[in-house]
Amino acid sequence: MAGSPLKSAGCRPKTRTAADLRPFPRHKARPVWHLHESLDRMERLVDEWPAGVCFGSSGEFAEVGSPAWHRRIGEAWDLLAARHAHTPWIHMLRGLRVCRMGAYPFASCDSTDVARNHNVTGHPRLMVEEWDSVQCPGRWVPIETHQSLFDIA
């Protein structure tokens, strides 16, 4: 799977790149763009993998739903909307919570909520049905963002 760590000769984790996915049929593999990476890389992946790209929260944008995360996702969608007449197929890793907000046009999202919390509710089927009922919008509508005082300094 794209983005999964690989052990290199020096025992240091290495992340698979889109080039590592080339042996797989493009309709069965999806590269991951990590939010801390350049927007240029995201554009390249979307152009080279028209069947879909995954977004992964990472670096300073690792906390899904944080103000920094929302700004970065907004930048990505602004760029995608400006370049593409139709919404590209984007899967948001760990993104069901923000999908529920209804702002971002992800084609799909996933979550670990049911696996991690089914024992708390005792009703995993109801949890799955609730998550399955969540739909993202079909297109990007830019969200007005405001700078925080911390961003100005």
User: Quick check: is 11 in a domain?
Assistant: no
Beta bridge mates, 69: none
On whether residue 150 sits in a domain, the answer given is no
Question: Tens of pLDDT along 116-133?
Answer: 777 777 778 887 787 777
Is residue 88 domain-resident? yes
Domain contains 105: yes
pLDDT the model gives residue 126: 83
- pLDDT for the residue numbered 62: 95
Inside any domain, residue 91: yes
CA distance 6 to 4: 7
Extended beta strands in the chain, E state: 5-7, 13-15, 32-34, 53-56, 90-92, 108-109
Whether residue 55 contacts residue 76, with contact meaning beta carbons closer than 8 Å, is answered with yes
Q: Would you state the structure tokens that stand for residue 34, as one six-digit string?
A: 């990590």
| 12 is a domain residue | no
Among candidate residues 120, 107, 114, 46, the one with its CA nearest the CA of residue 79: 46
Q: What is the pLDDT of residue 84?
A: 92
Looking at residue 44, its pLDDT comes to 94
Specify the length of the chain in residues.
153
Domain count for the chain: 1
Confirm if 141 and 77 have CB atoms less than 8 A apart: no
Q: What is the mean pLDDT of each run of 10 residues along the chain (153 residues)?
A: 39 50 72 96 92 94 94 96 93 85 86 76 78 79 63 52
Which domain covers residue 65, as residue numbers? 27-142
Q: Which pLDDT value is given to residue 102?
A: 75
Rg over alpha carbons for the chain, rounded to the nearest Å, is 17
Nearest alpha carbon to residue 141 among 111, 101, 108: 101
Torsion of the alpha carbons at 51, 46, 74 and 110, rounded to the nearest 10: 40
Residue 149 lies in a domain: no
Domain-located, residue 134: yes
Residue 2: per-residue pLDDT: 45
**pLDDT for position 113:** 72
Q: At what angle do helices 113-121 and 124-132 cross, to 10 degrees?
A: 130
